[in-house]
A and B are shown apart, each in its own frame.
Chain A
């Protein structure tokens, strides 16, 4: 293992975070606070309780997941797309490092950023509503697994994209709708049964459900299923990344 190379890529990417602190950390925190104001205060005053917890408290895990998902994808896709765009990727490709090391560096940094962000949003949420986390270790496990999985997914998008439009397309048109429809702001059990079945096709439902269970022990689907789906998605992303590097897809001629 070329640990120094992993470290170099990781620190390079983290340095980019600190350099763009406003964009990376402050803006997601501001937008999450806005969600609290709009959903928590405005709608929460009408829906008092969901499955035994107040509405404001209920939406916290979903909001954290919303940010972690979108930020993981944004960070990782941009992290690998940008060197491709400006041409500095030549150095990564010509360095004595394996594909695994490249992925650990980029995906590790993107995941770290979104985990930090998720925790900051949690802390922000604690200012608005009382929070109690029943299973902190499971909470962290779901957070880390989701951050890593979606950073891998972002990495794939960043390699696939050959323009800024494509870079934005999947997060905007696929991930954001799936997250909003995945039970961030409501319990799937609140839906009519037909919609409920359709919603269960949405992978994000399982992530949010498992994450919410670690907080309040309430879940739309069983925790085992949530964990299984998360790991399954992780495995699919890993297989895709392995294929990308094996074939040099969009990286090497």
Chain B
């Protein structure tokens, strides 16, 4: 994918750097120090049926970041997005977008936002060009064919611009929806489950688009229940469960804070049981008897690895290989959601 055009008010990323490496260039650091672009305060939502979808949510989104909202199905992710974007009414609390209250000053707030909903809602009989141009008009922007052309080219939709949407594949329709959301040059992009039902290649392409967008200064909030996606993309991660935000953390910090590591010691021969002399290590024997697995905490002063290796040798066990694995965000997530 080609680089995405920068939003005019933002400095252009330095040339010659990959999208991923532009994350820490100075202007973005400066943007992160600015007041939050979205501020959610004491937000609650109770549906007519009495179901409480959101319960006293407080959340700040920093300017220019990629924020992943992670949670199981029915946790309240889509409800939260719908309220911020104006599709659902809030019951209690308040939300500001770029400093504008979403109820009192809805025009200013909504102009800043592009929304790509989870479901593929499209006008089947419209052409790609017409539907994307319609979105731009709806947001009150003057016509700008060059901008629409750029978006369609960036999203590899240019050769489909005159096709009716009904003739497109699911992945293309998803990209049409992204193009619609970007048509009015938003500063914030909401992607609700952007890669649900999308194949691996297309998912990678989508991630690339998101990164180049961030490099051009757009703040991105994505919801997902694919942990891999949050792990790959996000600067910060919020975990929502049963309508409550249970954690917001830098991704790296989160991984480090809760991260456990696993050491797998491959053996030259096969053993039937863990020798009694190694009982204190709480080792696990692999199914085939050719490896032992040791869990340790990376934060601890002593990991116990050195003494384990010594004791293995003393027990007459010969080692053929070692590998370690960081626990994934998925492990962290599962343990978090279980705790609630």
Kindly list chain B residues whose C-beta atoms are within 8 Å of the C-beta of A95.
110, 138-139
Partner of A9, one of B86, B119, B130, B138: B138
Across-interface contacts of A2 in B (CB, < 8 A): 107, 140
Nearest-Cβ distance from residue B184 to partner chain A, whole angstroms: 9
- A to B contact number (C-beta, < 8 Å): 75
- Chain A residues, Cβ within 8 Å of B138: 4-5, 8-9, 91-92, 95, 97
With both chains docked as a complex, state the minimum distance between the C-beta of B23 and any C-beta of chain A, in angstroms: 28
Residue in contact with B111 in the complex, picked from A9, A91, A96, A252, CB distance below 8 Å = A96
Expressed in whole angstroms, the Cα–Cα distance for A92 and B330 within the complex equals 36
A193 within 8 A of B: no
Contact yes or no, A90 B115, CB < 8 A: yes
Instruction: Please provide the chain A residues from 63 to 114 with a CB less than 8 Å away from any CB of chain B in the complex.
Output: 86-88, 90-98
Query: Is A4's CB under 8 angstroms from B121's CB?
Result: no
Query: CB-nearest residue of chain B relative to A5?
Result: B138
Which one of B89, B107, B117, B130 contacts A96 once the chains associate, using CB atoms below 8 Å? B107
CA distance A81 to B125 in the complex (A): 16
B254 to chain A, nearest CB (A): 30
How close is A243's CB to chain B, nearest CB, in angstroms? 15
In this assembly, does B123 line the interface, its C-beta being within 8 Å of a C-beta of chain A?
Answer: yes
Q: Contact at A4–B141, with CB atoms within 8 Å?
A: yes
**The one of A9, A94, A98, A252 that contacts B113, using a Cβ cutoff of 8 Å:** A94
Size band of the B side of the interface? Answer: 20 to 34
When distances are taken between beta carbons in the complex, the residues of chain B under 8 Å from A5 are 137-140
Q: Does A132 lie at the interface of the complex (its beta carbon under 8 Å from any beta carbon of B)? A: no
B122 CB-CB contact with A under 8 Å? yes
Please measure, in the bound complex, the distance between the C-alpha atom of A3 and the C-alpha atom of B137, giving whole angstroms. 9
> Does B316 interact with chain A (Cβ within 8 Å)?
no
B55 at the interface (CB under 8 A from A): no
Known: A95-B139, A252-B88. A86 touches B123 (CB 8 A): yes
Chain B residues whose C-beta falls within 8 Å of the C-beta of A8 in the assembled complex: 134, 136-138
Whether B180 is near chain A, meaning CB under 8 Å from some CB there, is yes
With beta carbons under 8 angstroms apart, the residue of B89, B135, B136, B140 that contacts A252 is: B89
Cα distance A11–B143 when bound, in Å? 14
Q: Does A248 contact B (CB under 8 A)?
A: yes
Q: Are A253 and B130 in contact (CB under 8 A)?
A: no
8 Å CB contact of B117 from A15, A90, A248: A90
- Cβ-defined contact, A86 with B89, below 8 A: no
* CB pair A94 B87 closer than 8 Å: yes
B300 interface hit (Cβ, 8 Å): no
When distances are taken between beta carbons in the complex, the residues of chain A under 8 Å from B135 are 91
- Most chain B CB inside 10 Å of its own CB: which residue of A86, A98, A253: A253
Let me know if A4 and B111 touch, CB within 8 A. no
Look across to chain B and name the residue whose beta carbon is closest to the beta carbon of A93: B87
A87 contacts B121, CB within 8 Å? yes
Report B39-71 CB contacts with A as 1/0, cut-off 8 Å.
Answer: 000000001100000000000000000000000
Contact of A88 among B111, B115, B122, B140 (CB under 8 A): B122
Task: State how many angstroms separate the Cβ of A208 from the closest Cβ of chain B.
Answer: 36
| Total chain A interface residues with beta-carbon distance under 8 A | 26
Contact check, B47 vs A253: say whether CB atoms are below 8 A apart.
Answer: yes
Decide: A94 near B121, CB < 8 A? Known: A9-B138, A15-B130, A253-B88.
no
B115 touches A94 (CB 8 A): yes
A7 at the interface (CB under 8 A from B): yes
Is B26 positioned at the interface, with any CB of A under 8 Å from its CB? no
From B47, B117, B140, name the one whose CB has the most chain A CB atoms within 10 angstroms: B140
Residues of B within 8 A of A90 (CB): 87, 115, 117, 121
List residues of chain A with CB within 8 A of the CB of B110: 94-96
**Once the chains are docked, how many angstroms separate the CA of A7 from the CA of B136?**
11
Interface residues of A in 102-143 (CB under 8 A from B): none
Q: Does B324 contact A (CB under 8 A)?
A: no
Q: Give residues of chain B (83-136) contacting chain A, Cβ–Cβ below 8 Å.
A: 85-89, 106-111, 113, 115, 117, 119, 121-125, 130, 134-136
Q: A2-B107, A87-B117, A93-B85 given. 14 additional CB < 8 A pairs?
A: A2-B140, A4-B137, A4-B140, A15-B130, A90-B87, A91-B115, A93-B86, A95-B110, A95-B138, A96-B110, A96-B139, A96-B140, A97-B140, A253-B82
Question: Which residue numbers of A lie inside 8 Å of B, CB to CB?
Answer: 2-5, 7-9, 11-12, 15, 19, 86-88, 90-98, 248, 252-253
Q: Closest 8 A-B residue pairs measured CB to CB?
A: A8-B137, A87-B121, A96-B107, A96-B110, A94-B85, A95-B138, A2-B140, A253-B88
Residues of B within 8 A of A (CB): 47-48, 82, 85-89, 106-111, 113, 115, 117, 119, 121-125, 130, 134-142, 180
